[in-house]
Amino acid sequence: MNNLLSLPGAHIALMSFADDINNLLLFKNSQNISAVHEAIGRLTHPGGGSNMAVAFSEARKLFSFANGGRKHVTRVLVVASDGNFQSK
């Protein structure tokens, strides 16, 4: 996997969400396996609700050019949740 993460290769972003959004790794950050492992290591359950509308809105921002998003690449979003979704 380390060879896949690179400037021209695959990019990974990571965020956690509940009542607040926490961007742990942006596409514009260093793209190597060590940076990804470090970001995963900082994951915590922030507590609070799972407002999926806000989460998807914030996740969309991760794909913006300002955050390192690129045109003409496949965009994939993986969501892990406790399943207790809130609409507000």
Residue 5 lies in a domain: no
pLDDT of amino acid 4: 75
Which runs of consecutive H residues, i.e. helices, occur in the chain?
33-41, 52-62
Domain span at 53: 14-86
pLDDT of amino acid 76: 84
Residue 4 lies in a domain: no
Task: For the chain, list residues with pLDDT below 70.
Answer: 1-3, 46, 87-88
pLDDT of amino acid 3: 61
pLDDT of amino acid 87: 65
Burial letters for 2-36: b for 16+ Cβ neighbours within 10 Å, e otherwise? Answer: eeebeeeeebbbbbbbbeebebbbbbbbebeeeeb
What is the 8-class DSSP label of residue 23? E
Residue 77 lies in a domain: yes
pTM for this model (two decimals): 0.74
Residue 8 lies in a domain: no
pLDDT of amino acid 7: 72
Tally of domains within the chain? 1
Residue 1 lies in a domain: no
pLDDT of amino acid 53: 82
